[in-house]
Amino acid sequence: MSQPNGNPFQSWTRPKDIIIVGGSLGGLFTGVALKHHGYNTTILERNPTNLLDNQGAGIVAGGDTLTFFERYDRCKRPVAVPAPKRMYLDQSGKVVQEMPLKGTMTSWDLCYYLLRANYDHQESGYCDVPGPRDGDGRIDYRYGCTVKDFREEDGKIRVNYEKADGTKESVIGDMLVGADGPSSTVRKILCPEVSRKYAGYCVIRGTVPENEASEEAKKVFVERFTFFHAPGIQNLTYTIPGTDGAMEPGRRLLNFVWYTNFPEGEQDLEEVMTDVDGKRRRITIPPGMMRPAAWEMVKKRGRDRLPPQMSEMVEKTKQPFVQCITDVITPTNNFLGGKVVLIGDALAGFRPHTVASTSQAAFDVLMLVEYLETGDHAEFVRRTMEYARLVQQRGIQIGDRSQFEKLPLQEYVDDRTMMSTPRQELEFPEWTQVKI
Ligand SMILES: Cc1cc2nc3c(=O)[nH]c(=O)nc-3n(C[C@H](O)[C@H](O)[C@H](O)COP(=O)(O)OP(=O)(O)OC[C@H]3O[C@@H](n4cnc5c(N)ncnc54)[C@H](O)[C@@H]3O)c2cc1C
């Protein structure tokens, strides 16, 4: 598909009807913000049921995630658990370094249900549902709709999708937002040469209820951001909201994120990425789908290599899941003169070490609102691409250092400190810059 490089600033007509592909956090950030600014939106989500499965994952709530909720969330309930200390353990479980931190930890499911309450008034145990307000745009959440392609038609964008029963439908709008994640279909249509590349390691993830943890584990994980580094291993564990977003001590969850090397082509990778049905999954083994034998292999790795408090989390988790770490970034965010944009993981899939994926999606949407309000497409492209390039590259750098080099602890501490730099203080080197 052609990619005109024109800046439509001169002839800007504010779009009214906006189609969003993807109904996870990025798509919902877009839907909520645009609705509140009076735009009409349609979200197309391929998931066959109304609600996405709980990803069972903690999220470090970066600055732009919190800014988004402060600005657009009408439920007004707390979003994050504080983590006032960062700590490092050695393999015996002893605290070897600690420092103050202004950490804020949330969960994928709390963010999701807050956004659905704000977007299409979805009831849940997480929050009260806010009523509609004058000036809100129309909303339309369609699930079981897999987008296949799109094309320009009379100055608009027509999006074709397939429903769960195989029927084909389409919808037309003034603009298309691709929020369809790291394997984005919208991106594949625009940039077919771009693909996700395996980085040589996986992340094993899970949660344990706070009140099921031993005293030794609680001491280092409750309201803490706690790390362990060893050759080929990084583990970080922190406290996140519990069932229905519960924030009370004792009702929260301890969330672990354990990076461990599985070289391409080795049998262990095949073992861990083959699910209970014997299917070799490419990127993710979702909660409940790990084979018992693979899980035993992973637990043994934990017992042999992790500090005892972290190995305890692995032993006690009931719904582990695995993701292969991959790299992907789009070369540009300038498509069809600004009528198509990519946001969040569709624009750039960061390594999770950056703890910035959700805040990237929030930031991209804050920038999208400015673009729609002002028509300054060039500024939108510049800011979203510079941020994506810088953070994606830093994720590769600190991820590779952590997994494939043996460094003094202080260097890992410094890498983490660098990744905690607020976005507003980042400097964008020449190679990140975009000229359009
Ligand atoms: C298990 C897990 C753990 C995570 N942990 C963290 C974390 O700790 N910290 C952090 O910052 N981020 C984390 N993330 C990432 C974070 O959730 C995402 O960065 C954030 O949700 C923004 O992603 P997104 O909406 O852009 O993409 P995604 O979350 O990938 O959502 C894309 C959506 O698009 C839909 N879709 C895809 N293709 C199509 C199509 N053709 N038609 C219609 N719909 C389509 C998918 O079904 C999906 O719902 C995690 C993600 C997962 C899955």
Gap from CA of 23 to ligand 1 centroid (Å): 9
Q: Look at strands 253-261 and 197-209 and give their pairing.
A: antiparallel
Helix, coil or strand: residue 434: coil
Mutation to probe ligand 1, out of 180, 204, 234, 360 (largest number of atoms < 8 A from CB): 180
Predicted pLDDT of residue 11: 64
Mutation to probe ligand 1, out of 357, 368, 387 (largest number of atoms < 8 A from CB): 357
8-74+109-196+327-432 CATH pick, 3.30.930.10, 3.90.1150.170, 3.40.50.300, 3.50.50.60: 3.50.50.60
pLDDT higher than 70, residue 63: yes
Gap from CA of 345 to ligand 1 centroid (Å): 7
pLDDT digits (tens, 9 = 90+) for 130-144: 999 999 999 999 999
pLDDT higher than 60, residue 431: yes
Closest listed residue to residue 101, CA positions, set 231, 211, 236: 236
Angle at 102 between CA 257 and CA 109, to 5 degrees: 45
Tell whether ligand 1 has an atom less than 6 A from the beta carbon of residue 349.
Answer: no
Helix, coil or strand: residue 182: coil
CA distances (Å), origin 342, targets 22, 137, 180, 197, 312 = 11, 21, 9, 19, 40
Strands (E), 268-329: 284-285, 321-329
The label of the residue with tokens 């789009």 reads: 330
**pTM to 2 decimals?**
0.95
pLDDT digits (tens, 9 = 90+) for 256-295: 999 999 999 999 999 999 999 999 999 999 999 999 999 9
Q: What architecture does CATH give domain 200-326? A: 2-Layer Sandwich (3.30)
With a CB cutoff of 8 Å and minimum separation 6, the contacts of 317 are 206, 207, 208, 256
Tell whether ligand 1 has an atom less than 6 A from the beta carbon of residue 46.
Answer: yes
305 vs 192: CA distance, rounded Å? 41
Structure tokens belonging to residue 413 = 């501490």
How many Cβ atoms are within 10 Å of 367's Cβ, its own excluded? 22
Q: What ranges do the domains of the chain cover?
A: 8-74+109-196+327-432, 200-326
Nearest alpha carbon, ligand 1 atom 1: 55
Tell whether ligand 1 has an atom less than 6 A from the beta carbon of residue 376.
Answer: no
Gap from CA of 52 to ligand 1 centroid (Å): 10
pLDDT higher than 50, residue 1: no
pLDDT digits (tens, 9 = 90+) for 330-379: 999 999 999 999 999 999 999 999 999 999 999 999 999 999 999 999 99
pLDDT higher than 90, residue 435: no
pLDDT higher than 70, residue 7: no
The single-letter DSSP state of residue 375 is -
211 vs 221: CA distance, rounded Å? 12
Tell whether ligand 1 has an atom less than 6 A from the beta carbon of residue 306.
Answer: no
